[in-house]
Amino acid sequence: MGKPIYTAISLSNFIVALTIRLSAAFFLGFLFFVDLSASSTVILAFLCLYLFITTGHEQISIYEDRVIQTTISLFSFLFKSNTKTLYIKQIQTAYAVSRNETNIISLTHSHLFDAFTASTNKWGARIRPIYFNLKQGETAVLYTVLDRYKIRKIVELINSLINDPYPKN
């Protein structure tokens, strides 16, 4: 597969995942020193293990021939899950929807609309889509928690790879 041209992660998502995993590991170790009933100890231990194994952060890597979105967690590492791959040769165009916020009224309405209808993940991070028009006439979507600047760079890089499949490094 080679070395990725560009890799993007959300730093805030990484910090939240790291904090949750460290807290789960701490509380799992703490359970050995607390005098609780056996059933509550087992339930709390399973909860801590579940959080430690399944909590992770997202990464989007762009290679010369593909785009791979992965969730990096212990669970996805062990079971090779949560990976979405799109091949550059199948993509016609890539784009991210941006709002037209040219005046105060549209700015206020779009932020109010976002406040009530924005999609968020389980930790409260805003989910933004990246759309791909495929050559078969379908549309594929990658939902990501990356910020707008990283999404813009991903879209520009993918569109440049579509137009020039042999980038000059």
- What is the model's pLDDT at position 154? 92
Contacts of 145-150 with CB under 8 Å at 24 or more apart are 145/10, 145/13, 145/58, 145/121, 146/8, 146/9, 146/10, 146/58, 146/60, 147/10, 148/96, 148/98, 150/8, 150/10
- Residue 40 phi/psi, 5-degree rounding, is -70, -35
Which is nearest to 157 in space by CA: 58, 59, 67, 57? 67
**CA of residue 156 relative to chain centroid, distance:** 18
- Residue 57 phi/psi, 5-degree rounding, is -125, 165
- What is the model's pLDDT at position 168? 57
**CA of residue 115 relative to chain centroid, distance:** 20
- What is the model's pLDDT at position 128? 85
- What is the model's pLDDT at position 113? 44
Per-residue pLDDT of the chain (169 residues; tens, 9 = 90+): 688 899 999 888 889 889 999 999 999 988 888 888 888 889 999 999 999 988 888 899 999 889 999 888 888 888 777 688 999 999 999 988 765 433 344 344 444 444 444 465 555 567 888 999 999 989 999 888 888 889 999 999 999 998 875 655 5
How far lies 12's CA from each of 27, 48, 133, in Å? 22, 21, 29
Which is nearest to 59 in space by CA: 9, 127, 130? 9
Return the CATH architecture of domain 6-163. Answer: Roll (2.30)
